[in-house]
Structure 1
Amino acid sequence: MTEQNRPRERVLDAGALRALAHPLRVRLFDLLSQYGAQTASGLATLTGESTGATSYHLRALARHDLIREVEGRGTARERWWERPVGAITLTNPELAETPAGRAVQEAVASETLTLRQQQLMRFVRDGWEEAPDWRDATLIATASARLTSAQMADLSARLQAVIDETTERYRDQTGDDVRVVTMRADVFPLPADGVAS
């Protein structure tokens, strides 16, 4: 996919961020992003919540176009939901100018990152035995380098390009040996004095 054809990253407005600022909604959005279309009852099984709760929160996400009903699939009683293809950003520069805007962005980002960390820690705890064939393909790495903000921006763009290219190439791949793989790229400056505030 060329840069011209790639869907633009959606910057979530205040309403969409507020709709997402609920732990169960973040989890439902994440499951639809990672595993594809699901029903409310299927998501209830995955989350341990009631079908009524998942249905309610799915409709709230749909009102802000964060997810949509899958056309031509399901019945009036069993609706299928999916997350539209395309990147989103959980930060909105305009919202960052107000305390309420910063708070909603922080709530969504915090819940999203908590879920990501839980997934990583579950893999560290159980994944080696559950997926021994995948052990050598796993990368959990940390490195530090002294960079300018421009160099960090270049690194971030190159990492994102690799992630985007891989996601686009294999998005719809199926097969017995195919599993959902999560990709993380953590690139950020450390505190200048070495002490986190």
Structure 2
Amino acid sequence: MEPARPADRTVDLSVLKALTHPLRIQLLNALSQFGPQTASALAARLGESSGSTSYHLRQLARHELVREVEGRGSARERWWERPPGALNLYSSELAQDPGARDVAAIVNREFSHSRAALLEDYMERAPQVLPEEWLEASLISTINARLTAAQLAELSTQLMHYARELFEKYRPEGDASPDAKAVQIHLNTFPIIQGQFPEPRKERTS
């Protein structure tokens, strides 16, 4: 029997409000992209103090957006992870509340900025930074179509279902391969450059 797919979670207004701090979204993204980390490791990755990352991780944990990794770490250095499953930031109930819509817009804007920054970094630096095999494995693609709302809903559902089925084949049961890199998939598929690939050496001029 195949393992059950992690359930998606539709957030409420209190969770949305907890996500309005930009650093909390950065922490969620870093845990999603690079796996379990300590507050100190996240601080180094994000250019923050460990006191700040520790505080905001605890706030995220209050809303079950992150959790401690069982059996890992110590009393002084805890490991944190993102629970499996997608976060749905909109619901019909929240959509009827103008205040909730405004909060959701703030949170979605921050997530969108983060995604756009990773893609922009890839588009600008990939040819100079990435080995050839990573360039050839990546895909930046746009498909244009004219659809009804019902057709778009069907297409979106099928694409997400198929993408998750494919992804399960690559989800590691234990530690990931040492050759694995964090990858973002939008229908653009590309490796995250920052923090994973060394910058090319600059040639010296005499």
Task: Report % sequence identity.
Answer: 48
Q: TM-score, normalised by structure 2?
A: 0.84
Note the C-alpha offset of 1:5. 2.7
Query: Counterparts of 2:176 and 2:70 in 1: how far apart (Å)?
Result: 21
1:1-197 to structure 2, matched below 5 A, reads 5-132=4-131, 133-172=133-172, 174-185=176-187
Query: Counterparts of 2:128 and 2:39 in 1: how far apart (Å)?
Result: 31
Query: Counterparts of 2:15 and 2:186 in 1: how far apart (Å)?
Result: 23
Query: Counterparts of 1:14 and 1:167 in 2: how far apart (Å)?
Result: 30
**AA of the residue aligned to 1:176:** P
Runs of 4+ in 1 over 4 A off after TM superposition: none
Query: Counterparts of 2:126 and 2:89 in 1: how far apart (Å)?
Result: 29
Query: Counterparts of 2:187 and 2:94 in 1: how far apart (Å)?
Result: 24
**Secondary structure of 1:94's aligned partner:** helix
**Secondary structure of 2:68's aligned partner:** strand
Query: Counterparts of 1:16 and 1:124 in 2: how far apart (Å)?
Result: 33
Structure 1 unmatched ranges of 5 or more: 187-197
Note the C-alpha offset of 1:140. 0.9
CA contact (8 A) 2:90 2:104 kept: yes
**AA of the residue aligned to 1:114:** H
CA contact (8 A) 2:141 2:187 kept: no
Give deviations 1:42-76, integer Å, cap 9, x for gaps. 00001101111101100000000000011111111
Query: Counterparts of 2:106 and 2:10 in 1: how far apart (Å)?
Result: 16
Structure 2 unmatched ranges of 5 or more: 189-206
**Secondary structure of 1:170's aligned partner:** coil
Note the C-alpha offset of 1:93. 2.1
Query: Counterparts of 1:128 and 1:166 in 2: how far apart (Å)?
Result: 27
Query: Counterparts of 1:17 and 1:49 in 2: how far apart (Å)?
Result: 23
**AA of the residue aligned to 1:158:** Q
Query: Counterparts of 2:18 and 2:135 in 1: how far apart (Å)?
Result: 37
**Secondary structure of 2:182's aligned partner:** coil
After superposing the two structures, state which structure 1 stretch, 150-159 or 17-26, moved more. 150-159
CA contact (8 A) 1:163 1:183 kept: no
Query: Counterparts of 1:90 and 1:128 in 2: how far apart (Å)?
Result: 35
Q: TM-score, normalised by structure 1?
A: 0.87
